[in-house]
Chains A and B, each alone.
Chain A
Amino acid sequence: GQSLEQPSEVTAVEGAIVQINCTYQTSGFYGLSWYQQHDGGAPTFLSYNALDGLEETGRFSSFLSRSDSYGYLLLQELQMKDSASYFCAVGSGGYQKVTFGTGTKLQVIP
Chain B
Amino acid sequence: DTGVSQNPRHKITKRGQNVTFRCDPISEHNRLYWYRQTLGQGPEFLTYFQNEAQLEKSRLLSDRFSAERPKGSFSTLEIQRTEQGDSAMYLCASSSWGGVSNSPLHFGNGTRLTVT
The interface of chain A, by Cβ under 8 A from chain B, is 30-31, 33, 35, 41-45, 48, 50, 87, 89, 91, 93, 95-103, 105
Could you tell me if A45 and B105 are in contact, using CB atoms closer than 8 angstroms? Answer: yes
A101 and B102 alpha carbons, distance in the complex (Å): 17
- What's the A-B contact tally at a CB cutoff of 8 Å? 58
- Is B73 at the interface (CB under 8 A from chain A)? no
Ordered by A's residue number, 30 sampled pairs between the chains whose C-beta atoms are within 8 Å are: A33-B102, A33-B105, A35-B105, A42-B107, A42-B108, A43-B91, A43-B105, A45-B106, A48-B102, A48-B104, A50-B101, A50-B102, A87-B43, A95-B55, A95-B56, A96-B97, A96-B102, A97-B45, A97-B48, A97-B55, A98-B45, A98-B48, A98-B102, A98-B105, A100-B42, A100-B43, A100-B45, A102-B41, A102-B42, A103-B40
Chain A residues with CB below 8 A from B40, complex form: 103, 105
Could you tell me if B107 and A98 are in contact, using CB atoms closer than 8 angstroms? Answer: no
A93 and B42 alpha carbons, distance in the complex (Å): 20
Could you tell me if A45 and B104 are in contact, using CB atoms closer than 8 angstroms? Answer: yes
A93 and B45 alpha carbons, distance in the complex (Å): 14
The interface of chain B, by Cβ under 8 A from chain A, is 33, 35, 40-45, 48, 50, 55-56, 91, 93, 97, 101-102, 104-110
Taking a contact as CB atoms closer than 8 A, the residue among B33, B55, B102, B106 that contacts A30 in the complex is B102
| CB-CB nearest in chain B for A42 | B107
| CB-CB nearest in chain A for B91 | A42
Given contacts A45-B104, A100-B42, 5 further A-B contacts (CB under 8 A): A30-B102, A41-B109, A91-B102, A97-B55, A103-B40
| CB-CB nearest in chain B for A94 | B55
Given contacts A42-B108, A95-B55, contact A101 B50 (CB under 8 A): no
Chain B residues with CB below 8 A from A48, complex form: 102, 104
A110 and B109 alpha carbons, distance in the complex (Å): 30
Q: State the 7 A-B residue pairs at the shortest beta-carbon distance, nearest first.
A: A45-B104, A42-B107, A100-B42, A100-B43, A103-B42, A95-B55, A91-B102
